Structure 1
Amino acid sequence: MQLTDFVNTLGADLKKRYGEKVHKLTLHGDFSCPNRDGTLGKGGCTFCNVAAFADENQATQSIKNQLMLRAEEVSHKAKKYLAYFQAYTSTYSEIAQLSSLYEQATANNNIVGICIGTRPDCVSDEVLNLLSNYLLRGYEVWLELGLQSANDKTLKRINRGHGFAQYQSVCLKARARGIKVCTHLILGLPHETQSDYQETLKQVIETGVDGLKLHPLHVVRGAIMEKSWQAGRLTTLSLEEYSQAAVDLIRRTPSDVVFHRISATAKIEQLLSPLWCEKRWPVQNRMGKLMQQFGGQGSAL
């Protein structure tokens, strides 16, 4: 049983289009975030501690060296790559600086595209025009937007600093330029239920989207949520609860939408709950069995 039997995955989509495996190489552009530096707020989103998934020391290295190291790690798997600016808000800088970083990332002939992780409120028309230039040069371009939920009350509760309308606006502008949009959604946010997850998915699909990333809520050390969890005011989803919730959304997703991720992990040194998020295979195996039983992507439409 393969995940690709039930889900339109990014890996399979890239291999089909490029004729070989294409691997994402994570980069740290030493960006900040307006929700941390005081522009919008301090402390960031209540669930966030970048150290739980990214190597902060990586930011001290040049983009060229980061790419070289990441490519060496996966050279036995792939020879073509997407340069993925993952940490913090990778459009949160002056255009000249962004252009310099993106140019460094695409200087290697083995790079076929770029993925830019960011927030909906940090994507100006200038940024979109810059990314459009890479499309014109033949690169794959993905704009990865951290939305998490379409519920404005939830977004306020987790201190996102933006609403769903801002996401819709930038998503429509990006896709009108031919830039692919991958939207990040979190399942298990405080006070949300399966109906909230379904409503978020419905609104995202109605707006138009090319890719999705599903994440279980993690409680990690150093995040604002840690205090609520320690005090017993916050619970996280069990492996079974998450698997069922995520599969339900996958089954409601049109088959042409590409899943970049159906779950997520965190470093065990930072992870407090749920501990099953340390490893990726148990939850993926469980989700695979559920889809084998009830149907895969698009089967509930």
Structure 2
Amino acid sequence: MGLDSYVNTFGSVCKQKYGERIRKLTIDAKFTCPNRDGTLGKGGCTYCNVASFSHEHKTELSIQEQLAQGRERLSTKSSKYIAYFQAYTSTYDEYLVLKQKYGEAIQDNDIVGLCVGTRPDCVPDDVLELLVGYQNDGVDVWLELGLQSANDNTLKKINRGHNFAAYEDTVKRARRLGIKVCTHLILGLPGEEHTDYLETLNKVLAVGVDGLKLHPLHIVEGSTMAKAWRNDKMTLLELDSYAYSVGELIRNTPTDVIFHRVTAYAKKPMLLGPDWCAYRWNGLVAIVDDLKQKGGQGAYLQS
């Protein structure tokens, strides 16, 4: 049995809603980040090099051309897709620019959803109203917020440039308008251990959330953490430790919360460590094994 047997996954929810598997088409809309352009700081978060999951703005393709290329690149085709603004901070621009870019992304009939990835401190009310407008027109909208940890000391240490209060404020404003929120969390950040992950989960659940993405900390070329890793100042999670912690988070999460992702990987030579993150299925297989042995989503919340 796969992950869907134990976890309320985004893939299974979409299949139930649309009758088929829905694929995400990632878009690099050439946004930047206030933590890179000098507004809050420079250099970005200490773990970040967006080239590990995008093309660092090397593409000159329009949004429509990127969507077309994404469709062609997929080995399994679909009749419906989700436009995913992934790279950098995808709400960090003038309102009219955002409206133009989002509008271009969802203009095709086969685009049924819009995912917008961003920072918690870069989501003004007018952007939320813009997203609500698309949702009212029948587009399946998700606001994806990179929180990573609810511990303010950790957020400062990794140079996030915001605190948990900023996240809490944005989530409450978004969900009050009916916008679904997916929160990104990283396991294995410096100074954190299993109890910290559980504390972060509890704080996120207390605020309210619709979806979660879990990632292991992995060191990529071009990040600040790469320097510390090369100097043997970084301790990274082993696969079994990551699988155990993810399993515990899943068992402590109510079954109505949707897991968009439970692990992540990066390709070498961009990836420096841990080595198990170089292979897509390593983390997933280990997590499923843990869930088989100890129970799936919501197991610890059942009376």
Asked if these proteins are the same fold (TM beyond 0.5), I'd say yes
Alpha-carbon distance between aligned partners in 2 of 1:73 and 1:179, rounded to the nearest angstrom: 30
- Measured after TM superposition, the shift of residue 77 of structure 1 is 3.4
Q: Which amino acid aligns with 1:112?
A: V
Aligned with 1:100: secondary structure? helix
Secondary structure of 2:51 counterpart = helix
Structure 1 residue 19 displacement after superposition: 1.5
One-letter code aligned to 2:113: G
Aligned-residue offset at 1:262: 0.1
Name the residue aligned to 2:85: 85
**Distance in 1, Cα, partners of 2:134 & 2:58:** 25
For 2:281, the equivalent position in structure 1 comes to: 281
Letter of the 2:261 partner, please give it. R
Matched residues, number: 301
Give 1:38's aligned amino acid.
Answer: G
CA 1:252–1:94: 2 relative to 1, 3 Å:
same
Give the AA of the match of 1:253.
T
Structure 2 partner of 1:229: 229
TM-score for both structures, normalised by structure 1: 0.98
Equivalent runs, 1:53-72 vs 2, <5 Å: 53-57=53-57, 59-72=59-72
CA RMSD of aligned residues (A): 1.0
Paired with 2:230 and 2:200, the residues of 1 have a C-alpha distance of 28
Give 5+ residue unaligned stretches, structure 2. Answer: none
In 1, Cα distance between equivalents of 2:280 and 2:274: 12
Q: Which amino acid aligns with 2:47?
A: F
Q: Which amino acid aligns with 2:38?
A: G
In structure 2, C-alpha distance between the alignment counterparts of 1:257 and 1:49, rounded to whole Å: 29
Structure 1 counterpart of 2:124: 124
Q: Could you tell me which amino acid in structure 2 is paired with residue 105 of structure 1? A: A
Partner Cα distance (2:210, 2:271) in 1? 30
- Cα distance in 2 for partners of 1:57, 1:93 equals 16
Corresponding residue SS for 1:37: coil
Give how far 1:58 is off: 5.7
1:22 matched to which residue of 2? 22
Counting only pairs closer than 5 Å after superposition, residues 184-223 of structure 1 correspond to structure 2 as 184-223=184-223
Task: Quote the Cα distance in structure 2 between the aligned partners of 1:137 and 1:97.
Answer: 20
Whole-angstrom CA distance in 2 between matches of 1:108 and 1:297: 35
Shift, 1:21, TM fit: 1.4
1:177 is aligned to: 177
Contact 1:252 1:300 in 2 (8 A): yes
Contact 1:144 / 1:181 at 8 angstroms: preserved in 2? yes
* Offset at residue 57 of structure 1 (A): 5.0
Contact 2:71 2:77 (C-alpha < 8 Å) held by counterparts: no
1:152-175 deviations in whole A, cap 9, x for unaligned?
A: 000000000000000000001101
Q: Distance in 1 between matches of 2:153 and 2:276?
A: 28
**Structure 2 equivalent of residue 8 of structure 1:** 8
Q: Distance in 2 between matches of 1:182 and 1:204?
A: 10
CA-CA distance at 1:55 after TM superposition: 2.3
Q: Unaligned regions of 5+ residues in structure 1, if any?
A: none
Using a 3 Å threshold, how does the CA distance of structure 1 residues 240 and 74 change in structure 2: closer, same or farther? same
The structural deviation recorded for 1:59 is 3.8
Match of 1:292 in 2: 292
* Alignment partners' CA distance in 2, 1:236 and 1:133: 42
The one-letter code sitting in structure 1 at the alignment partner of 2:55 is D
CA 33–227 in structure 1, closer or farther in 2 if over 3 Å, else same: same
State the Cα distance separating 1:267 from its structure 2 match. Answer: 2.1
Could you tell me which residue of structure 1 aligns to residue 39 of structure 2? 39
- Residue 60 of structure 1 deviates from its aligned partner by 1.5
Find the aligned partners of 1:41 and 1:222 in 2 and give their Cα distance. 17
Q: Give the partner amino acid of 2:210.
A: D
SS in 2 for 1:300: helix
Distance 2:139 2:81 in 1: 11
| 1:236-255 aligned within 5 A | 236-255=236-255
Does the residue aligned with 1:8 lie in a helix, a strand or coil?
coil
Partner SS for 1:215 = strand
**Contact 1:83 1:115 (C-alpha < 8 Å) held by counterparts:** yes
Given that 1:237 and 1:274 are in contact with CA atoms closer than 8 Å, whether structure 2 keeps it comes out as yes
User: Counterparts of 2:189 and 2:236 in 1: how far apart (Å)?
Assistant: 8
Percent identity, please.
55
Partner of 1:108: 108
Secondary structure (helix, strand or coil) at the match of 2:185 reads: strand
Please tell me the residue identity of whatever aligns with 2:68: M
- Aligned-pair distance for 1:5? 0.4
Equivalent residue number for residue 257 of structure 1: 257
